[in-house]
A and B are shown apart, each in its own frame.
Chain A
């Protein structure tokens, strides 16, 4: 079975940093691009960042560009998101998700809550 298990998250002060991780299993990780999507409390879904299967192509939403860094470790089948210069508006549940080519976000992690508050 395809599994995406997230870790990290928690409460952080404005301006602080945090690292989210997404450990995967049940598929050949290095064949798939991966994405991060977030959802502010009571709100809809917002795409955050993506990384191609080999890490060669990386994209960010304008709202996080320059503050967040996506990375992957294909040897360990894991995905990461470094969050820095955090703001109150970054408070959200963050999901990792797999994106097969020419398809959609077909498997998602369980989500992890990031709360930015003093």
Chain B
């Protein structure tokens, strides 16, 4: 099973600042990595798939990069609605699909 480790667990930032979230895989997942955003009481929302492709309707301030075992989600200028929990997920070696433990971006 591929283990995804996200860091940091919590990121404390202010609106307008840039956020850099990390996801490390226990083995190579090529570019088969996605990022999701989840707000309290809501279902997750797909942001990025295949490491760097933005999902439909996702603002350009969200960008993804990386391949192999190291991936990054960058939010270029935080808007108030971006404060949430972010998860990475791999589809390279499944079943099972696996998720990282999440990074909380807080004000």
Residues of A within 8 A of B (CB): 35, 37, 44-47, 50, 59-62, 95, 102-111
Chain B residue at smallest Cβ distance from A49? B95
Which among A45, A108, A111 is the interface contact of B99 at CB below 8 angstroms?
Answer: A45
Which among A46, A50, A59, A108 is the interface contact of B43 at CB below 8 angstroms?
Answer: A108
- Chain B interface size range: 20 to 34
Q: How many A-B residue pairs have CB under 8 A?
A: 58
Assess the A61–B102 pair: CB atoms within 8 A: no
Assess the A46–B99 pair: CB atoms within 8 A: yes
CA separation between A47 and B55, bound complex, in Å? 21
Chain B residues lying within 8 Å of A105, measured Cβ to Cβ, are: 34, 36, 44, 46, 89
Chain A nearest Cβ from B84, distance in angstroms: 13
Within 8 A of A (CB), among B75-107: 87, 89, 91, 94-102
Residues of B within 8 A of A (CB): 34, 36, 38, 43-46, 49-50, 55-56, 87, 89, 91, 94-102
CA separation between A52 and B95, bound complex, in Å? 12
Assess the A110–B43 pair: CB atoms within 8 A: yes
Assess the B99–A104 pair: CB atoms within 8 A: no
Chain A nearest Cβ from B18, distance in angstroms: 24
Assess the B87–A104 pair: CB atoms within 8 A: no
